[in-house]
Amino acid sequence: MKRLAFVALCLLVAFGTSPVLAANDLPRTGSRVPAIILPDVAGHPRRLTEFKNRPLVLFFFCGCPPCHACARLWADVQQAGEISRGRSVTGPQTVAVFLGDAEAARRFASETGLDPAQTLLLTDPSDRTGQRFGVIQCPRVFVLDAGGRLTYTNSENNSGTDSPRLSAAALVSRTLTAWRHLPTAPASKVSAARMVP
């Protein structure tokens, strides 16, 4: 019994504690997503709050073949100018959280063609952020409006609409559709505009 307790303690120390979130603690459509503070590929800490009052597409990639396929298609969308259409863009509107170190993340971005001017690439080797978002399978995507609220995700656990096993083409298509349906003004301006008679 003491040996089992010792092994459990060693595993806890080695892998750290990862919060196990109940289903109702995961981001849901209409709710704000958990805060993110992760290093970019240069090692600088970055936050989602940098995108305040801007819509955002948040991807979680691990580097597997489905992640590559999805990222390649998203890179095509970026290069076609679909992300900035009808919006004034002052920086990246795609954040990609990569399950790995900076070197692997850079290699993934290079292999898939993600546009560095339109994509903020973050690293999460411990997958703690992915766990906070309920990411079990990849690729995962979250579309956030200018107020930081979740409007679309590809998981039944979070939105109740899609299977997490969508093909890369279907996932990118649905993400782009959700993106196009976002209001172009920040949420506070949209609300104020609706109140004017």
Nearest partner of 26 among 145, 196, 159, judged by Cα: 159
SS3 at position 197? coil
Q: What is the per-residue pLDDT across 123-169, written as a single tens digit (0 to 9) for each?
A: 999 999 999 999 988 899 999 999 999 999 987 554 445 544 679 99
Nearest partner of 152 among 128, 131, 171, judged by Cα: 171
Cβ neighbourhood burial of 186 (10 Å; 0-12, 13-18, 19+): middle
- Interacting residues of 54 by C-beta distance below 8 A, sequence separation 6+: 90, 93, 146, 186
What is the model's pLDDT at position 84? 78
Whether residue 69 has pLDDT greater than 80: yes
Q: What is the per-residue pLDDT across 72-129, written as a single tens digit (0 to 9) for each?
A: 999 999 999 888 776 666 678 999 999 999 999 999 999 999 999 999 999 999 999 9
Alpha helices in the chain (DSSP H): 2-15, 65-79, 102-112, 128-132, 168-180, 187-195
**Domains of the chain, first to last:** 27-182 (3.40.30.10)
Sorting pLDDT into bands at 50, 70 and 90, what band is 194?
A: very low
Question: In 6-28, which positions are buried (b, 16+ CB within 10 angstroms) versus exposed (e)?
Answer: eeeeeeeeeeeeeeeeeeeebbb
Token pair for 31: 């709710």
Highest average pLDDT, of 29-38, 47-56, 62-71, 128-137, comes from 62-71
Instruction: Report the Cα 52 to chain-centroid distance in Å.
Output: 15
SS3 at position 15? helix
Token pair for 196: 């004017």
Sorting pLDDT into bands at 50, 70 and 90, what band is 9?
A: very low
Highest average pLDDT, of 10-19, 23-32, 77-86, 182-191, comes from 77-86
CB 18 within 8 A of CB 128: yes
**How much is the pTM?**
0.78
